[in-house]
Amino acid sequence: MRVLITQAIDPAGTAILTDAGLALDSRDDPHPIGSDELRARTAGCAALLPMPTDPVDADVLSTPGLRVVACHSVGTDHVDLDAARAHGVVVTHTPGVLTDATADLAMALILATARRLGEGERLLRRGAFHGWRPTMLRGLDLHDATLGIVGMGRIGTAVADRARAFGMHIRGTTSASSRDDLLELLATSDVVSLHCPLTDDTVHLLDSPTLARMKPGAILVNTARGAVIDEDALADALEAGHLAGAGLDVHAAEPRVHPRLLPREDVVLLPHLGSATWQTRRAMATKAATNLVAVLQGRTPPDRVV
Ligand code: DGY
């Protein structure tokens, strides 16, 4: 049986697949796979191991003989889950193993944005540091600041644990919270960190009206999915000086960064690094491969979504 892997993964994952006697089509191209290539290469495969931004749409899921899509991510917003159900394709993901790495990165982005690390480094490298000045690059004290966590799930809770060690006060919402709860969190938080999945309910959750409810001078951090923020509205809020900055690991149209955010000094930008540690990527590859093999061997996969 044939498996398409759309990007090179940790060898611990490929070893599980080859030990199970599977034939691998391992794509090794730094660019994301497009819809046409994904559709063409899935033909003849019993399993697909996609990355979090690969468009696993209804056409891909209708591929004859396709039995499982084993996502190399906890997020499954790139998969048409209704189409998977309709075509009887099992979908799995990788919960739990990336919680700490992603929470660490969110905390790093909170610190980098609040303390203007990107701006400081760029200033130094271009030779513009002329000596210590009391008014240079002042940022936000995290101690005694309020952190609003939108999405108090596994990762949000792990961020809260870290932030408490920095003396921050925590507020949080879950998928059960009302819109009023969200607005209250936005109005009272100095830093807002997004940890909700991307669903029909959370697309552009942070748009012009909700961004306007954030405290003046607050900071917005996103390690969830880019489309949770209306990036045009964020650029407006930064340009207007309503927000002090943003820290973004994820972008609505990855790998493209919004052209109005790219040049901004007050925005810290990362290339979707939340889970990017050796240990976590090994654990994700292992989990994805274990789920995939379980389905092809007729067993229940540990992390089934559909
Ligand atoms: C996920 O697993 O959904 C992450 O975005 C990958 O880092």
Q: Could you read off the pLDDT of 289-298 as tens digits, one per residue?
A: 999 999 999 9
> For residue 189, is it within any domain?
yes
> For residue 91, is it within any domain?
yes
Taking alpha carbons only, the member of 224, 211, 269, 292 closest to residue 75 is 224
**Domain co-membership, 91 together with 170:** no
Residues with CB under 6 A from ligand 1: 52, 73-75, 98, 274-275
Q: Which of 98, 254, 284 to mutate to test the pocket of ligand 1 (most atoms within 8 A of CB)?
A: 98
Count: domains in the chain: 2
**For atom 3 of ligand 1, which residue has the closest CA?**
75
**Domain co-membership, 89 together with 103:** no
**Domain co-membership, 175 together with 214:** yes
- The whole-angstrom separation of Cα 82 and Cα 75 is 15
Q: How far is the CA of 10 from the centre of ligand 1 (A)?
A: 15
Q: How far is the CA of 292 from the centre of ligand 1 (A)?
A: 18
Which amino acids are annotated catalytic? 225, 254, 272
What CATH code is carried by the domain that includes residue 141? 3.40.50.720
Q: The whole model's pTM is what?
A: 0.97
**For atom 7 of ligand 1, which residue has the closest CA?**
275
**For atom 1 of ligand 1, which residue has the closest CA?**
73
Q: What is the pLDDT of residues 257-278, one digit of tens each?
A: 999 999 999 999 999 999 999 9
> What confidence tier does 239 reach under pLDDT thresholds 50, 70, 90?
very high
Tokens of 85: 């159900």
**Domain co-membership, 217 together with 158:** yes
Q: What integer pLDDT is reported at residue 53 of this predicted model?
A: 93
- The whole-angstrom separation of Cα 170 and Cα 149 is 7
- The whole-angstrom separation of Cα 185 and Cα 217 is 15
Q: Are 215 and 190 in contact (CB under 8 A)?
A: yes
Q: What is the pLDDT of residues 147-181, one digit of tens each?
A: 999 999 999 999 999 999 999 999 999 999 999 99
Q: Are 80 and 100 in contact (CB under 8 A)?
A: no
**For atom 4 of ligand 1, which residue has the closest CA?**
73
Counting beta carbons within 10 angstroms of the beta carbon of residue 159, is it exposed (0 to 12), middle (13 to 18) or buried (19 or more)? buried
- The whole-angstrom separation of Cα 67 and Cα 41 is 15
